A and B are shown apart, each in its own frame.
Chain A
Amino acid sequence: MSAGTPTGKKIVATTSLAGCFGCHMSFLDIDERLLDLIELVEFNKSPLDDIKTFTKDCDIGLIEGGCCNDENVHVLMEFRRRCKTLVALGECAIMGGLPAMRNTISLQECLDEAYRLGPTVADSNPGRIIPCDPDIPRILNRVYPCHEVVQIDYFLPGCPPNADLIWDALTSLLAGKELALEYRTFKYD
């Protein structure tokens, strides 16, 4: 696999699967360091530059969110194929997070509540139709953390991981240094 630019910049891709974009927002919280970052890396597929499909192989893939539908799975597998190193960014990517709260409830029950029996359904969905169309993703039986689908190389904890942590992790990874993950960085109470 070849990656990197002619100028030696590492190439980074990011995505948000079954997440809330909170981890990406936290990423943006590195603020003016973004300017330093783009000196170090080039972004490929990512919501940051709105590149929708990979145009080249990448060095680092940052994954926010777990997999709740088949599109998430395909995107995650594509990331695995195109990125040398995959980082699960935040609680949902690592453990499934908030979306995984539905894992104790059957999918049928979830769909019934959302589209057929819930108190707001009468007006919004008079036909009591459960959406199903080739254009929309199909929902999985449960929410899967990323490592149950592909190999994940690093896990960055937090909901979201704070900006400093993301910055430290990314720069360590780029410099090939080990990151000292201190207890306070993932202790929230």
Chain B
Amino acid sequence: MTSPEIIETIIARYQGDETRLMDILIDLQDELGHLSSETVVQIAAALKIPQVNVEQTVSFYHFFAREPRGVYTVYLNNSVVAYFRGAAEVAAAFEEAAQCRFGEVSADGVVGLFQTACIGMSDQEPSALINGHVFPRLTPQRARELVEGMRAGWTILELKGTGFGDGNNAHPLVRALVRNHIRVPGLTVFGEYHPGEAIAKVTQMSSGEVIATIKAASVRGRGGAGFPTGMKWEFARRATGEMKYIFCNADEGEPGTFKDRVILTERPQMVFEGMVIAAYAVGARQGILYVRNEYRYLHDYLESVLEDMRRRNLLGASIGGVPGFHFDVSIQFGAGAYVCGEESALIESAEGKRGEPRDRPPFPVEKGYLQQPTVVNNVETLCSVVQVMLKGTDWYNRMGTEQSKGTKVLSISGDCDRPGIYEVEWGFSVRDMLAMAGARDVQAVQVGGPSGACIAPGEFDRVLAYEDLATGGSLIIIGRHRDLLRDVVLNFTRFFREESCGACVPCRALTGMAQRILERIIDGKGRAEDVEHLKSWLGIMRYNRCGLGQTALHPITSTIKNFPHLYEERLDQSDPRFAPTFDLAAALEDYAAATGAGTE
């Protein structure tokens, strides 16, 4: 087929619906390798929308390529934990073998090397995506072998070899090298579970009773903010709209977090069953599981699970034999944008647009997807819902603390012997978690990812709970031997700068300025007033529209608070009247090169 024919076929696959632009672009990129300017023009013409509407979506997501990115496209993770585990050496091996630098495609067009933010494999770094498939636990030797394989024209399966991971990672529809590393299975998400039982029970109740049960159990959102789930459902149920939607947010992009990947691998039925219960409570007809592009290797498997649930009448028309209870779930993939984990950005993205957070109010429960009432729940929240409905509120409330009921699935990574998944009751102290994970000689723990807090050993007796250390579920352990500012804080700061959608000025501008100031502090050229500026900007950042912008300076401000000496000992002490960063000789180098003048 010629490319215009391919475009036509794919657009027809989505009935020419412009709100399916993400799917259209993802499929087209699979077919064509990249999205050229001509392709963009043709898509716009076929969908009868302005070219700029296509352009802005394509340019927003970093997995959409405007230029060819190689027959094999390598996206090497550049997260903090990846570097802890040797990503720099792996990157060097890739460059040497491929004979090109990161950000480039090899001269023969075979290998493209690119970097990407955390891909949800922090327990098995360094890792890379190659043509959408995960290659975890890389070594320089493995990188060289992979490039050799690419040059020899191997298929992705041949490149993977054998040694698929445990559990469903070895499922014929997954065949991933990924490992689950479930170190401590808890009672909720990884507890006893038989698909369909909760639906059978719920459909005997009224929707009001279901919401009352979730409220009585005090289920709170597991994405990090901890909003009461029952209240969210109640709002959506009361809202008026032609259609109501249930979204499951599986866009986990917070570096260091990977629990949703494991839950979707081992407990997808439970997640979908949770969506069905939410739909029953709210009166929704359609559900969308929004999954980050990094987990596309689970696509066929997740579709087969949905198909199986339809066959068993757990999805589709008259679910559980209840006349009129119709609900089905489709899967929407992202294309590489951390901010889409924010619920209104996620909705925008699912509508085929740039993932820019919306102004609120109105909240999604009133006007969400396609301006209709929409519930967005985290993967783990939906699992909790299923168990609460099955085992009751008393069972659930026996676990956890006063304000944090039930269990929490934690993604633990970094400098420890046993990185992986730990499902524990809320209320565990950081110290206990470190002991469980086999961490010694710890300098700091990043709780809740870069947007959370970086705490020092003096605070290790604090507990994980909404009332103390609220967390979306990740702990990154940072050993004594790390340079906290250079290895961790700078990496996080760059991450936020890269991922800012740019809509709010403080977020767009101050993430960049903060990075520059941090770099000069690390280089020993920062001043005490630089630190004061960074602290004062936190107040300005609160005016940003979404959580990304509001927390984007947390890596810096939380380390200034908890590790002030790391900043103080690096500050420049020279004559304060002259800027330590200005280097006249360096500023004259370009002129010297152009004219032969000296730089003295």
Contacts and interface: CB of A to CB of B under 8 A. Distances in A.
Contact of A138 (B576, B582, B586, B588): B588
Nearest to A146: B579
A70 B588 contact: yes
A157 to B, nearest CB: 18
Nearest to A106: B590
B584 A107 contact: no
Interface stretch (B241-249, B300-308, B592-600): B592-600
A141 B591 CA distance: 7
Given A80-B577, A147-B579, A151-B577, A132 B595 contact: yes
A34 interface: no
Contacts of A147: 579
A140 B588 contact: yes
Contacts of A81: 577
Contacts of B587: 70, 73, 140-142, 144
B578 A151 contact: yes
Contact of B593 (A70, A77, A108, A144): A108
Interface string A146-165: 01111100000000000000
A150 B85 CA distance: 41
Contacts of B591: 107, 138-141
Contacts of B595: 111, 130-132
The listed residue with most B CB atoms (<10 A of its CB), out of A81, A107, A147, is: A107
Given A132-B595, A132-B597, A138-B597, A80 B578 contact: yes
B589 interface: yes
A73 B590 CA distance: 16
Interface residues of B, number: 19
B581 interface: yes
A95 to B, nearest CB: 13
A74 to B, nearest CB: 9
Nearest to B578: A150
B597 A151 contact: no
Given A70-B588, A140-B587, A140-B588, A148 B594 contact: no
Interface string B550-582: 000000000000000000000000001111011
Contacts, number: 57
Contact of B590 (A70, A77, A108, A132): A108
A149 B579 contact: yes
A73 B584 CA distance: 8
Nearest to B586: A141
A148 B592 CA distance: 21
A42 B431 CA distance: 68
A45 B595 CA distance: 32
Interface string A73-103: 1000100110000000000000000000000
Interface in A58-73: 70, 73
B590 A148 contact: no
Nearest to A149: B582
Given A132-B595, A132-B596, A132-B597, A151 B579 contact: yes
Nearest to B597: A132
A73 B588 CA distance: 11
Contacts of B586: 141
A151 to B, nearest CB: 5
A111 B594 contact: yes
A92 B576 CA distance: 23
Interface string B417-451: 00000000000000000000000000000000000
A130 B596 CA distance: 10
Nearest to A81: B577
Nearest to B584: A73
Contacts of B578: 77, 80, 149-151
A107 B578 CA distance: 25
B587 to A, nearest CB: 4
A148 B581 contact: yes
A5 B421 CA distance: 75
Interface in B203-241: none
Contacts of B577: 80-81, 150-151
A138 B588 CA distance: 7
A148 B579 contact: yes
B520 to A, nearest CB: 11
A111 B594 CA distance: 8
Contacts of B584: 70, 73
Contacts of A142: 587
B594 A107 contact: yes
A107 B591 CA distance: 7
Interface in A115-153: 130-132, 138-142, 144, 147-151
A111 B596 CA distance: 13
A110 to B, nearest CB: 9
Interface in B245-277: none
A73 B585 CA distance: 11
B590 A141 contact: yes
A151 B584 CA distance: 16
Contacts of A141: 586-591
A130 B588 contact: no
B594 to A, nearest CB: 5
A151 B596 contact: no
Contacts of A151: 576-579
Contact of B594 (A77, A80, A108, A150): A108
Given A132-B595, A132-B597, A150 B579 contact: yes
Interface in B367-414: none
The listed residue with most B CB atoms (<10 A of its CB), out of A80, A138, A150, is: A138
B73 to A, nearest CB: 30
Contacts of A139: 591
Contacts of A148: 579, 581-582
B597 A107 contact: no
Contacts of B590: 106-108, 140-141
Given A70-B587, A111-B594, A148-B581, 20 more contacts: A70-B588, A81-B577, A106-B590, A107-B590, A108-B594, A131-B595, A132-B597, A138-B588, A140-B587, A140-B591, A141-B589, A141-B590, A141-B591, A142-B587, A148-B582, A149-B578, A149-B579, A149-B582, A150-B577, A151-B579
Interface of A: 70, 73, 77, 80-81, 106-108, 111, 130-132, 138-142, 144, 147-151
27 contacts: A70-B587, A70-B588, A73-B582, A73-B584, A80-B577, A80-B578, A81-B577, A107-B590, A107-B591, A107-B594, A108-B590, A108-B594, A130-B594, A130-B595, A132-B596, A138-B597, A140-B587, A140-B590, A140-B591, A141-B589, A141-B591, A144-B587, A147-B579, A149-B582, A150-B577, A150-B578, A150-B579
Interface of B: 576-579, 581-582, 584, 586-597
A-B CB proximity, top 3 nearest: A132-B595, A107-B590, A141-B590
